[in-house]
A and B are shown apart, each in its own frame.
Chain A
Amino acid sequence: MTASASDDSVSPGRVFVAILLRDLTVARRELPYFLIRTALQPILFVIVFGFVLPRMGLIPSGYSTTMLPGVVALSLTLSAIQSVALPMMQDFGFTKEIEDRLLAPVPIQLVAVEKVVAGVLQGIIAALFVLPVARLIMGPIPGLSFRNVPLLLAVTILGGAAFSAMGLYLGTGIAPQQIGLMFSVIVAPMIMFGCTYYPWTGLSHVPVMKWVVLINPLVYVSEGMRAALTPGVPHMPLVLILGALVVLTVIFMALGLRAFDRRAMS
């Protein structure tokens, strides 16, 4: 028998990093497509609502302050959810490419957790890309501040995690044929009612909606970004924002891991 190095136990951390490096290598190669896929929509909104309409006088110019955090939140969450859900659907549905990672000598849940981490990182990249582009298009934004770094980091990481985990759940729990349905029934309403283009406190004028939108995870990321980037704009209490994001992350992670397990093992 050949001398075998494979009997020494392998550190799960090391395997995790190796799998993460694979995803980052692939993501780096697909960066232009990735940015177009996830950042184009927020940027189009910025052009219309942050540039065209204010110049036509249809929207007050101060609106950009309300809108910018929402757009950043949207880029973060859209890319986080897609970065996990799309490959999951493909890998489990058609190509079975993920099999080589499911054969790694670690608990298979670690492969799912890695996908979520990769999703968070891709969400951050999308947000970092959209933020300066939006600022460029909209011009100076009154009240924009980067002073509260810890809060900005907390909202970004928690928001990314909640939506990556949601991507894991959707990607493993929904049949690939229903991917179109996922976007029109789940993602589109989430964007419109996610307090991305208006502050949650403003919904006091539509009281029913103010409470109904609380089931929308995007609301907490938008409001979190508002609290972090434009503290001058009224926003949801911080405790509620961070608390909700933690709870959502835990719930989606639990659901996602269960669905992943079902797909990975027959």
Chain B
Amino acid sequence: MNAIETRGLRKIYPAPAVKKRRGAPAPATPPAGEIVAIDSLDLTVADGEFFGVLGPNGAGKTTLIGILTTRVRITAGEAFVSGANVAADPAAVRRRIGVVPQRPNPDRSLSVIENLVFHATYFGIGRAEAGRRGEQLLERLGIAEKMHAKVDQLSGGQQQRLMIARALTHDPRVVFLDEPTVGLDPQARLSLWEILRELHGQGRTIVMSTHYMEEADQLCDRLAIIDQGKLLALDTPAALKAKAPGDTLVEVTFDGDASVAAEVVQAMEGVSKAEARGPILRVFSKRGGELIPSLINAGEAHGRIVRDIQLSRPSLETLFISLTGRKLT
């Protein structure tokens, strides 16, 4: 059985203040104000996979996780988690998943251990068993000394760990994490990575959204790159990196519109792709840094002066830029 399967998944948030007609067919082009958060998404995640959803802010990552965790209504299409239909049988889905939210939302009226014990009882687990599991999880996540503390006494990283512990209290098959490392310091981020690797090592399916290339590259078995609700690429990090065009991305920032130089540069030897975005000229080329003088000349020929030059080795980041023309962060 696949951990996750979506078919033609679509989510449109209605325009604010405009009433949506019930049962009206979805128009081909969305009316002004409507937001297409997920657009015809077909995804399959195998059992036991560490699956990453990579995209910039507003790409639809949170909406996708919201749908799969039964918190966002589907506009069209279908989604299954561990074989259960998200729309038709949300309770069955919830029984099988653990969710770590983007921002920690612990129950602040309860202590750290109570957060885990009560959450486990919401899944029908007896109090004694819930207490035992809770203590174990706090131990494993390194916050056992805070067991009886108030939630407010935890640091951001510790709260994030508490959220992970909470997501595991009912021993779910699939764990969802929505940008779990946002706002964490590098130390906390690295130790979170270790925890995630351990969970994955236990055979759990992990679905994590992120806009950090490095994180996706380091942790995930497979990656879906999405932007504006659409799936742009789906493969292993290594295969995706191999798909990045050219060897090196050279970004030249001019003091004015760069499009005047783009055509000339595109025709240069060894250039696989050249495109202008405002004052920035992006060039994918095997020749890398050696190309820089001719790029400067191409600009100067049109009276443009170079303000900045950046070189990037092929990476998920350069692939993303070549796919979308935009940066991830």
Q: Is the CB of B94 within 8 A of A104?
A: yes
As a 0/1 sequence over residues 1 to 24 of chain A, the CB contacts with chain B under 8 angstroms (1 = contact) are 111111111110011001101100
CA–CA, A161 and B92, complex, Å: 30
Q: Does A266 contact B (CB under 8 A)?
A: yes
Interface SS, B side: loop
Looking at the assembled complex, report how far the CB atom of B278 sits from the nearest CB atom of chain A, in whole angstroms: 34
Picked from B73, B96, B118, the residue with its CB within 8 Å of the CB of A6 is: B96
Q: Does B132 contact A (CB under 8 A)?
A: no
Q: Is the CB of A1 within 8 A of B204?
A: yes
B residues contacting the other copy or chain, number (CB 8 A)? 41
Q: Which of chain B's residues has its CB closest to A105's CB?
A: B95
As a 0/1 sequence over residues 86 to 118 of chain A, the CB contacts with chain B under 8 angstroms (1 = contact) are 000000000111011111111110000000000
Which residues of chain A come closer than 8 Å to B107, judged between CB atoms?
22, 97, 100
Q: Is the CB of A106 within 8 A of B91?
A: yes
Q: Does A26 contact B (CB under 8 A)?
A: yes
Q: Which of chain B's residues has its CB closest to A27's CB?
A: B109
Q: Which of chain B's residues has its CB closest to A17's CB?
A: B121
Q: Is the CB of B122 within 8 A of A15?
A: yes
Which residues of chain A come closer than 8 Å to B72, judged between CB atoms?
265-266
Looking at the assembled complex, report how far the CB atom of B172 sits from the nearest CB atom of chain A, in whole angstroms: 6
Q: Is the CB of B95 within 8 A of A6?
A: yes
Q: Which of chain B's residues has its CB closest to A4's CB?
A: B171
Q: Which of A1, A18, A25, A99 counts the most chain B CB atoms within 10 A?
A: A18
Which residues of chain B come closer than 8 Å to A5, judged between CB atoms?
125, 170-171
Q: Which of chain B's residues has its CB closest to A266's CB?
A: B72
Q: Does A29 contact B (CB under 8 A)?
A: yes
CA–CA, A10 and B97, complex, Å: 14
Q: Is the CB of B92 within 8 A of A105?
A: yes
Q: Is the CB of A107 within 8 A of B124?
A: no
Q: Does B202 contact A (CB under 8 A)?
A: yes
Looking at the assembled complex, report how far the CB atom of A13 sits from the nearest CB atom of chain B, in whole angstroms: 10
As a 0/1 sequence over residues 107 to 128 of chain B, the CB contacts with chain A under 8 angstroms (1 = contact) are 1111000110011011111000
Given known A6-B96, A103-B94, A265-B71, contact A18–B105 (CB-CB < 8 A) = no
CA–CA, A202 and B295, complex, Å: 93
CA–CA, A101 and B118, complex, Å: 9
Which residues of chain A come closer than 8 Å to B121, judged between CB atoms?
15, 18, 21-22
Which residues of chain B come closer than 8 Å to A11, judged between CB atoms?
124
Given known A6-B95, A7-B96, contact A1–B73 (CB-CB < 8 A) = no
Looking at the assembled complex, report how far the CB atom of A184 sits from the nearest CB atom of chain B, in whole angstroms: 26
Q: Does B60 contact A (CB under 8 A)?
A: no
Which residues of chain B come closer than 8 Å to A265, judged between CB atoms?
71-73
Q: Is the CB of B203 within 8 A of A2?
A: yes
Picked from A25, A30, A100, A264, the residue with its CB within 8 Å of the CB of B122 is: A100
Q: Does B69 contact A (CB under 8 A)?
A: yes
Q: Which of A3, A6, A15, A102 counts the most chain B CB atoms within 10 A?
A: A6
As a 0/1 sequence over residues 68 to 95 of chain B, the CB contacts with chain A under 8 angstroms (1 = contact) are 0101110000000000000000111011
CA–CA, A6 and B48, complex, Å: 17
CA–CA, A49 and B63, complex, Å: 56
CA–CA, A97 and B152, complex, Å: 13
Instruction: List residues of chain A with CB under 8 Å of any chain B CB.
Output: 1-11, 14-15, 18-19, 21-22, 25-26, 29-30, 95-97, 99-108, 264-266
Q: What are the nearest 5 A-B pairs in CB distance?
A: A10-B124, A18-B121, A105-B95, A104-B122, A1-B203
